Amino acid sequence: MALYVKKFGGTSVGSVDRIEAVADQLQAARESGDDVVVVVSAMSGETNRLIDLANQVMDDPDPREMDVLVSTGEQVTIALLSMALLKRGVDARSYTGGQVRITTDSSHTKARIQDIDEHNMRGDLDAGRVVVVAGFQGMDEEGHITTLGRGGSDTTAVALAAALKADECHIYTDVDGVYTTDPRIVDGARRLETITFEEMLEMASLGSKVLQIRSVEFAGKYNVPVRVLSSFREGPGTLITFDDEDDMEKPVVSGIAFNRDEAKLTVVGVADVPGCASRILKPVSDAGIEVDMIVQNVGSDNRTDFTFTVHRNDYRQSLELLENLGRDLDVQAVQGDEHIAKVSIVGVGMRSHAGVASRMFDALSAEGINIQMISTSEIKISVVINEKYLELAVRTLHSAFGLEEAEIREES
């Protein structure tokens, strides 16, 4: 008998019919002898509806009260799903995050899990019940309701799987696994049987939206095998697991990630002296703006150009900060570009194979795609390009690294 934590997202429980279908699936799991803990999101569109209500009442809603409000979406789902299970003769019990005793810090709307008391859940499992838990939420030490941020139900599921030492954590979505890239852009995109935590973490951070990045971090930290599955059709999905150092036939590149939500800023002709990078980035950091890629040119005539990227939503604020700063630093110009995109290749096999970067750059060059910035790590290479070439770049790299083939192996 195995213990599984199963998480169903908003589209998976988006209607009463969908909730009934999930209940059928859980009934079958119990009849096969498995113990099941279920984590659910709010019904599709419900969280946005609640946020819209708050914005109608208050321009800048209080974070504590926002958590009280948006956490009610999941409470509706857990009650309805438990009712559907009870109707089928499956003993079930629902819990909010606070009732399960998911303890978090007090950072409202973006809390982090500190501890989980699994005592009640274990008692229910021993009694043969299906435990239905509201995702995305917890409670701080003072008893205030907190939420974990967008996509937080994934993190809830992985955290519960870690606390209960579950055999696997199943994340049900509207796709049937993790693909080599977005199938909407590349017809030949292929579902991966397995992917390592390292690769999935890079894919999530670089734009892949299959899983929330914090849930992948949590799974890697606590060694929780995670399987991404479809709520709408059966299949093995994709298992996110540990890197097998003995596997000498790893694919060099496992996937292509991309992000359209990037913007680039350049400070032209800043004084090339120690501390210039810090002086440029400090006001940006103080404003709570995250910086991604950074490039500083080799200086000439005691001046240099300094370029970095931010999320496109932060572009206007960042540009204004730099223009104000530029007057104090005596720079020649501040330039910006909102029409860029980031494309990345990811694969643990890149550690042991040379020539991956040159193959990437050659493929893009052959299509006339100019590279504006480059960033690398052990298992990924990212480039910034003009946004209009994004889809062409993804298709080109997908083909160049043979990702559409049934088996991807490095050439001998």
Give the side-chain half-sphere CA count within 13 A for 104.
Answer: 28
- Rounded CA gap, 269 and 33, in Å? 68
Could you tell me if 56 and 26 are in contact, meaning their C-beta atoms sit under 8 angstroms apart?
A: no
**Crossing angle of the two packed helices 119-126 and 152-164, in degrees rounded to 10:** 70
Question: According to the annotation, is 258 in a ligand binding site?
Answer: no
Rg (CA), the chain: 24
Q: Residue 86: exposed, middle, or buried by beta-carbon count in 10 A (0-12, 13-18, 19+)?
A: middle
- Rounded CA gap, 12 and 15, in Å? 8
Question: According to the annotation, is 11 in a ligand binding site?
Answer: no
Question: According to the annotation, is 184 in a ligand binding site?
Answer: yes
Question: According to the annotation, is 173 in a ligand binding site?
Answer: yes
Question: According to the annotation, is 74 in a ligand binding site?
Answer: yes
Q: Where are the beta strands (DSSP E) in 273-332?
A: 291-296, 303-311
Question: According to the annotation, is 174 in a ligand binding site?
Answer: yes
CA 215 remoteness from chain centre: 8
- Rounded CA gap, 320 and 261, in Å? 19
Structure tokens at 152: 């937080």
Binding-site residues for ATP, in ranges, read 7-10, 173-174, 179, 184, 209-210
As annotated, the binding site for substrate includes 47, 74
Binding region:
7-10, 47, 74, 173-174, 179, 184, 209-210
